[in-house]
Every structure is written in C-alpha cells, then in structure tokens.
Structure 1
Amino acid sequence: MNEPILITSRDNPLLKRLRLLSQDSMAYRKQGQVWLEGDHLCRAMLARGQRPTTAVFTERGWSDAADAMRVACEHRVLVSESLMAGVSGLESPAGMGFLWDLPTRPAPDPAASTVVLDRLQDAGNVGSILRSAAAMGFGQVLALKGTAGLWSPKVLRAGMGAHFALRLVEGLTLDDLRPLAVPMLVTSSHRGEFLHRSELPWPCAWVMGHEGQGVRPELEAMASRSVRITQPGGEESLNVAAAAAICLHASAAARALPL
C-alpha cells in the first residue's frame, strides 16, 4: 500500500469539502458524503463492515493510529495540525478522520422495531435517541420532515457511532408511515396508560415528538396506544431524549422477560 499523500494547501479541494461537511449541517445531503472525525466514530464505522473513501491524518495522528485505521482505505492523506483544525468541527481537533460515502437511501422496513422522530429540532436529542435505539435493540429510525438532519455533524457526534447499527430514513411524511406493520406507540406527558403498567408489544414503533409541541395530533391518531411516564416529582414533562431512553428500555426489558 502506498504512503499517504501530503496536503499542504488549505485551498485543496478535499479540505474545502471537509470544511463544508463539518460546518454546514445539511451539506451531506448535497454531497452524498459525511465527515467522521475522531477515532471513536471511525472505529464504529469499521466495526459495522463499512469502509471510508478517504482517510485523513495529522502527522501525529498517523503515528498514533492503529493498523486498522491506517489500512482502512487506499486513499490516505496527511495534513498539518493547523490544516486539520481548519476543517474540524471540534474544540480540540482530532488527529484523524474518515470521509465516507452515504449509502443509497433505504426504504422503511414495515416489520422492523422502529423509532419515529416527529420534527425533533435539537441535534443532541436526536443523536442521543439514536444511541438509545441501537442499545435497546431497535433496528430502524424514521425521521419525519422537520427533524434535524440525521447525518449532520452534531447528530453524528451525539450518536457516538450508533448510526452504523441502524436503518436510517429521513425526510418522510405521515403517509410514509402508513405501511408500518408494527403497533405504533406515542408518548404523552399527561394522558394514556402509565408505561410501568403497560404490556408492551414487540416489535413496535415508538413515536417521539417535537421538544415543545410533542407528537402532532394527526400522528397521534395513527397510533394504537398512548403511553405516559410516571413523574412523582411533579415536573411538567421530561426531555424527549430522556423519555425515549425510558420507553425504549421498557420495551427491551419486556422483550427480555421469560414467557
């Protein structure tokens, strides 16, 4: 395998693309690529059998990199610390990153255990829910139009590699959800049966709504059940990422119980 190519100009086309991908939350949709910065995200991608198109290292990053990182792809480049800082979206730039081609957008799987995101705005919430979904055995996340970009830099960082364990489909409408063949459960802060008293179906589709408005009424009408989380402390509502973690764990625990 050839030695990495040295890049010394900030105007190099590759570095221009990386700056765009790291600074524009929607650039991935036009470019068809994502920039994965840092060892953790890169390892998560490789662990799921994916390969980058380009691997970028600082000189120190190259010397510290594991062999699996160095040989992950044919096209490898070296840049200075300052050039890496210019494309980084992190306060402390990483010593390496991968440029990865997004796969063709998959069709929703009607039978999959699913999390539906209804216009969630906060990238940290979206990434956290992706982590919970992957950890609790949900294989698919469907994002309705108005939800933060699933492959945006902030969601990628918050997801901590969960993206590569999930079927992700975004930009959907309510009509796209109608073919789902699993029971749809919606969360509410003030009505529906209590989660801890519910017999939860598996597989199912949990719907998580907008941080301020909750699940829209049209989507709530499509659900087979409305569920709420007991809050003895008396708070008005829970953060949507916290609520999702509780609900998805409840499904995972119910699934694990002996028959």
Structure 2
Amino acid sequence: MNLITSRDNPQVKAWRRLAQDTTAYRKAGQFWLEGDHLCRAAIDRGVKPLQIVLSASCFEAQGPQWAGLTDALFVLPDPLFASLSGLESPARMGFVVAWSAQGQLLSDASTVVLDRLQDAGNVGAILRCASAFGYRQVLAVKGTAALWSPKVLRAGMGAHFGLHLIESVSEEDVAALQVPVLTTSSHQGPFLHELLQRQELTPKCAWVFGHEGQGVSDSLMALAHQKVRIAQPGGEESLNVATAAAICLHASATAAI
C-alpha cells in the first residue's frame, strides 16, 4: 500500500487529468474508472487494473478485497481523493486501466454507428443498449464524444467491456460493412412497427444514429439500405437519440424471437 497526501504529487496530477480531461486517455494510453459499480463491472469482464486508488475511508472498509488485484495500490485522504473526481458526489475508489485504440473493423458484426453525437450521456446510454441487445460493435464517426471519457464511461455503466469499440471511423468504413445499414429519420422511410409486422427486420445489421440536432448526415443516409421512422402518436417533433436507439435496437434484436 502506498500512501499519498500531497496535491502536488505527480501521480495525483496524472490521475486528475485522466479523471477530468475527456480525451486524456488517448495520449496516456490509460483511462480512469471511478466508483465501486464500474470497477466491479470491469473486474467481472476480466479487466486487470494497472493501479487501484482508494480513499482512506474506503481502504479502511474494503482494503483487503482490492489489495490482491495489483501491487500498485494507493491510498489518499478522502479530501484529496475527492479533488480528483469530476463528480458532484465523488466516489471513494478508482481504477487506472490500460487503453489502446481497437484496430480492425469487424465487417460482418451487428453494429451501432454513432454519427457525431455530442452528449456523453446519450453516447453512454446507447452503448448500454447495444450491449444489452446483443450488438457486438460500436463505431464512432469523427466528431462523436470520446468513447472512453469519464462521463461516457459512467453513463455506459460497464457496457464498454463487452463491446468492440472503434473511434474516428470514416464514411468509407461504414460503407465497408457487409451487413444492411439502417438509418433513423424523422420523415423518410417506413415506420419501425411496419417493418416488424412485415418481418423485415433482422439483428444482423448496422443501425446509424445521428447528431442530436442535425440527425444522420446526408452522406451516411445515402448508404442506407433502409431508412426508418418511429411512430409518435403523441405528436412530438422528435425523440431523444438515446431513446430512439433503445426502441430500434430492441425491435431489431428481438425480431426473430
């Protein structure tokens, strides 16, 4: 166990960057997981932390159960640990985990494509849906919120560890997919429930979900094998993109059941 008490310690500064900078993981080759739930979700998926950082109160209560996972276990006074966090109510523990850009695109995998989504909460929620409904791969078009940022990790609630994630993909990458591409639209194509009734949906596909304000780009829309609308009997103009994704992914994933 290594005790650190100074805010100016270089290791503390490095953790703070990982915890508060949305893209620091790309340069550092490491990302920050904060909180008991996320850390346990990582362990359950076979993730090995490089470092474990505990507040003093957490170490007192739970130290023995974490001590065996790595030799690099650090303990900080509670106020110092809280200074690392980007949360309004900081957790009491965190992991530092190795990160590397996942390489090769899986052309025949059931896929979710995120087209320039800006909101980290939306991105994380869609990752949760993708994992829950059996989609193996998520591609983030350049301009999408950083997939391994602390906010997206928190919103994903552990879904990251069961997905093949690739950032900064191009339209050419999407065009290379060997599964049908479906795009959501507010005014083009048949309604989702009509496709279900006609048994024209399949889990083996790629769903594209677009920017919160602009929707799917014209160039990606042009790749669509099918454009799909969601019926809104209540008369709202549009749905939140994460809500739309949950509806579409569930419908497609369960179409053959």
Tell whether the 8 Å contact from 1:106 to 1:167 is kept in structure 2 after alignment.
no
Partner SS for 2:201: coil
2:117 alignment counterpart = 120
Q: Tell me, what secondary structure is at the counterpart of 2:208?
A: strand
Partner of 2:235: 234
Q: Residue 200 of structure 1 aligns with which residue?
A: 201
Q: Distance in 2 between matches of 1:196 and 1:67?
A: 52
Alignment of 1:135-146 (within 5 A): 135-146=132-143
Distance 1:6 1:239 in 2: 45
Specify the alignment match of 1:110 in structure 2: 107
Q: How many residues align?
A: 253
Give the stretch that moved more between structures: 101-110 or 63-72: 63-72
Q: 1:93 to 1:236 in 2, by over 3 A?
A: same
**Counterpart residue number, 1:157:** 154
CA RMSD, aligned part only?
1.2
Name the CA distance, whole Å, in 2 between partners of 1:137 and 1:69: 31
Unaligned runs of 5+ in 1: none
2: CA distance between counterparts of 1:231 and 1:104? 39
Describe the shift of the 1:230–1:123 C-alpha distance in structure 2 as closer, same or farther (beyond 3 A).
Answer: same
Q: 2:145 aligns with which of 145, 148, 164?
A: 148
Instruction: Indicate whether 1:21 and 2:11 are aligned.
Output: no
Q: Counterpart of 1:10 in structure 2: which amino acid? A: R
Of residues 43, 47, 60, the one that matches 2:40 is: 43
49, 52, 72: which one aligns with 1:52 = 49
Normalised to the residue count of structure 2, the TM-score between the two structures is: 0.95
Per-residue Cα deviation, 1:85-138 (whole angstroms, up to 9, x for no partner):
111111122111100111342211111110000000111100110011111111
Alignment correspondent of 1:210: 211
Unmatched runs of 5 consecutive residues or more in structure 2: none
Identity of aligned residues (%): 58
**1:218 & 1:66 partners in 2: Cα distance?**
52
Q: Which amino acid aligns with 1:237?
A: S
Moved more, 72-81 or 101-110: 101-110
* Residue 99 of structure 1, aligned match among 81, 96, 102: 96
> Is the contact made by 1:183 and 1:201 (CA closer than 8 Å) also made in structure 2?
no
| Residue 212 of structure 1, CA deviation | 0.6
Q: TM-score, normalised by structure 1?
A: 0.95
* Pairing 1:185–2:182 present: yes
Report the residue type matching 2:29 in the other structure.
Answer: G
Decide which of 87, 91, 107 is 1:90's aligned counterpart.
Answer: 87
- Equivalent AA in structure 2 for residue 157 of structure 1: R
* Stretch moving more, 235-244 or 97-106: 97-106
1:78 corresponds to: 75
The CA deviation at 1:70 is 2.9
Secondary structure of the residue aligned to 2:144 is coil
Letter in 2 for 1:130: L
Whether the 8 Å contact between 1:62 and 1:70 is mirrored in structure 2 is no
1:31 aligns with 2:28: yes
User: What amino acid does structure 1 have at the position aligned with 2:214?
Assistant: Q
CA separation in 1, counterparts of 2:168 and 2:101? 14
Q: CA deviation at 1:67?
A: 5.1
Alpha-carbon spacing, 1:177–1:240, altered in 2? closer, same or farther (3 Å): same
